[in-house]
Structure 1
């Protein structure tokens, strides 16, 4: 063995073996770090919105849906608000996954609001302004927002997940429609 390491072939063999081990280790780490490229989350919540009428306060129940699609470096976030008293409102944000923190399983997204016609008494518009911490009333088409979404719980069967939205700290329980971890 000692004689092998002193020869040119032995040194070459040692260097190539070392490089192969490093390459395999990096490949395995890269595969582990990139296992969550494609996610389709479908989330639902009951929304309660209050309105002050002429003499009394009324509370209307609505259904708020959130669909989050992450496909490699592309992201789409769709909010849908169904109400028995108003027409359905939909807001769609498209953008990119800027980075993923695998330690905290947090996606950092840069999103842009797609064209939308807000209703005069929109309930979704103030909800989204609160969600993104927007203080100005001009949340309209082309408005860009930063969103962090942390997967705080994922069941072993990959069918349910709990997501935390930052900076609002809103938490959603979601159904995982598809998780393609082979890409």
Structure 2
């Protein structure tokens, strides 16, 4: 029985060595696959996993917007902050602090997440809330959203009141008060 135990011990040892060699050979392949798969993850998927978390968005031309991430769609997000709610186009987000380590794949998103920036702005226009529209370059428009087109929004501002059209591509954030 002694030689059988030695034989099985040697075979077990060889099997463990073979497994370790296989794992060592596969580790770079798995790392490459992981990198290749991760390059398919959009910012919106990471933010979707961060809903209800406290985050800080660093917005191009505006600075930091901090608060609870309430909603994410494919091209915008909603942050509830101490100074009001912020609708931020994802194209204006330069960096995010406080995001989840995870991502939610698009197939798992609610159909509401497919609504574009125009839908969020229409909701603000319907509510008749006073808003501040922040544009690239630092310009601001303080007024009430009136109508929302395909790629622009009308804001009524000033005294006497006048209508300004603001292109979505120029918006970096909309702050409701």
Q: What's the TM-score once normalised by structure 1's chain length? A: 0.28
More strand, by proportion: 1
- Name which one, 1 or 2, has greater alpha-carbon Rg: 2
More helix, by proportion: 2
